[in-house]
Structure 1
Amino acid sequence: MELTLLGTGAPGGLPRPDCPCASCATAIGEDARASTSLLVDGALLLDLTPGIAFAAARAGHSLSGVRQVLLSHPQNGPALEVPAGLPAPGRVPDGRELALISGHRVRSVPVDAPGSGYEVTAPDAGHTGVPRPSGVPLRLLYLPPDCSPAGPVEGANGAASGPYAMVLLDVLGRPDALAKLRATGAVTATTDVIAVHIDHTIPQGPELQRQLAAAGARAVPDGETLHVGEYHAIPEPPRRTLVLGGARSGKSVEAERRLSAFPGVVYVATSGTREGDPEWAARIGTHRERRPSSWKTVETCDLVPLLAADGPPLLVDCLALWLTDAMDAVDAWDDHAWTRGGERALRERVDALASAFRETRRTVVAVSNEVGSGVVPATASGRRFRDELGRLNTRVADECEQVLLVTAGQALRLRG
């Protein structure tokens, strides 16, 4: 199948009319995006948008061969004008399949918001020019903006259907949709994941591509033509990542975002509980509410066994609290105990943790505080903690493929 993206933006387009935000101000050239519309093999049009005929012409295509126009979501703007020669747009009822005269088959996939997703199967998987296992159809899945499949995608794990060759969805707006597709086997490492319905909530250019790469996805400019099933190399998300930042820098949000498109994540909370401290309880509650419901939470500072075990991705938040627990355990706050074996005992704990990061086979994102750039602590114990956290961060960073520093919500890549 040949797929031309006549638009890749949110329903309001990008930049949004009369929006003064920084993302809209910088959305120029290839970063400007019309609302999403897809042309499949010149015969099927998914979503009708204003100026669609001009968009097709700019992409070097004509709409004269379109035999079916399908809408995926409610059109809340001005009434759409149907260009002369195009069939009237319609919808396929949930769960129903439509056979086109071109040979394509379109099945409507129920979603959790008003609208319909569409699974499109190529007319003849044996003559696409793309090598496929015998009997496996070439399929793509297109989801409307801000939508996730309402249930398991039918046939995703079946031997006859296999995973989708391409999936187009609102990756950054609904990363849980991508996680659900991965959990059911509908999306695998061979699936080309394309971000569409791109809005102004994310800065365009390198930052957009960085966030998409972390989710195992990519974006293309309006007018790009893709061949469904054609291999496209996407950088693998790093297996081990350290996210550093100061207080309220956005480091935890960045860490959570990096795993939000993957299923079954284990969130390792090293914070513990503090009885009689409502402000601390409120902080913990905010973190919990932000996590996807499919994630599992483990409250522990015993990180080495978790890193040594096989399993789904780990998000460790945070190493500064792990160090606090480790220093408590060896009585490192007491000068006498520190010189009489506490320092050596702490070094052994840090060595064991660094070795566990080196040897782990799991995907891990760890969060830690970046300290020591400002006021020098007034106490010896405070200076000791600052120094030991700097050493711990260095040891763990040495074992990670990617290291990020987050400041004022902006992620700066230090490595990887």
Structure 2
Amino acid sequence: MRYMATYDLMESIRNTNQWLGATANSMASYPAFSLVPNPMLHWMAAWGQVTERSFERMVTKPDWGIHSMTCKDGKDHLVSITPVVERAFGDLIHFDVQGREEQERKILLVAPMSGHYATLLRSTVVSLLPDAEVYITDWHNARDIPVSEGKFDIEDYTLYLVDFMKELGPDINVIAVCQPAPLTLAATAYLAEIDPEAQPNTLTLIGGPIDPDATPTEVTDFGHSVTMGQLEELMIQRVGLKYKGIGRRVYPGLLQLTSFMSMNAERHSQAFNDQIFRVMRGEASENDHHNRFYDEYLAVMDMTAEFYLSTVERIFKAGEIAKNEFIVAGHKVDIGKITNVAVKTVEGEKDDISAPGQCVAALNLCTGLPDEMKASHLEPGAGHYGIFAGSSWRNNIRPLVLDFIDANAGGSKTAQPASKRKKAADKPADKPAGKPDLKVASSN
């Protein structure tokens, strides 16, 4: 109960600050005060508005906000978000552009489970939608998952990816962003051994810690310096009374946010101070740059304790992926078994989270893959966020990734997606030759 009480205490502090912001804004905006203009009251109202919005966003999952897009026919088409696979800890969703012909390129974006929601990749999705059918892993907030659903560690995460790839079939092109890069590589190798025909067509790994020790950063140094006992004692708490996951052991999102903010405390402090004065001058708006960024940045989610701890212990401390010693469900994965999935790595020159050298290490692990099916790119001047969002991604990296996908399209894999293979397997064996199963034919 000690940890549950701590979780509830953090939520109480957050809720109190949200209330203080709302109260300050309401009181300072009282019409009677306008009779005697006072700069301090204007500042108080602006502070309250910014504070209330900030603390409110910390427990709210952002909306995708992708409602329509203009296609090549010059018309605006509605975009609907359709679940393809629904699971306790995460879903596979599809951005369905209504009224548009199905695109040949099919892309699965593997979103990180590192404190933020998959909506962090909203701009990445928007940039890819005009040229591809886009799917993404939408991970759930651990605080909302009942304890009865069981554990979720990096092996479970990997098996989720395996199932998602099977569902979408071998013509899918996988792009893993940041944290899931090593587990996506492992999932592909796992498929190469147990179900080769279900492997994706291409695999692009963006800024992921395949070999964290290749180029040490503050993140890797922290992973090596702290003990697992210290991590469990300091970072892990039990979900409080307010949520469905009551009692589940998690690394709380609010605690993660504290770490995120402390890494660049001076810059964040200045950003909020500037926003308060913009609100005072009437220069701020609902969707200005500050609000767009911090509405997403402040929205954090809890991670299951076993996922966080196993990531630190097995990926960073033991280096199981880097040493090709990763085990999934009792099966030792051999990355060298990947022989017909083209692999590309993308790194940012100024990435201080997953520094250059950590991700490109994946190519050396793919010993069974011909050199012509390997590629790498180092983006000059780009930081961690810039290699999957912003101008570096839009103008430089995205075209290279699409060219890589096109150059390796139509590989030797001719299998169908899992759902279609299942339907084909269910076809009656005694059907007369020359008379196709209309149900199966129509589904294809």
Tell me which interval the TM-score lies in, with the shorter structure as reference length.
under 0.3
Q: Say which structure is richer in strand.
A: 1
Return the TM-score normalized by structure 1. 0.24
Identify which of structures 1 and 2 has the higher relative contact order when contacts are C-alpha pairs closer than 8 Å and 6+ apart: 2
Q: Say which structure is richer in helix.
A: 2
Max radius of gyration: which structure? 1
Return the TM-score normalized by structure 2. 0.23
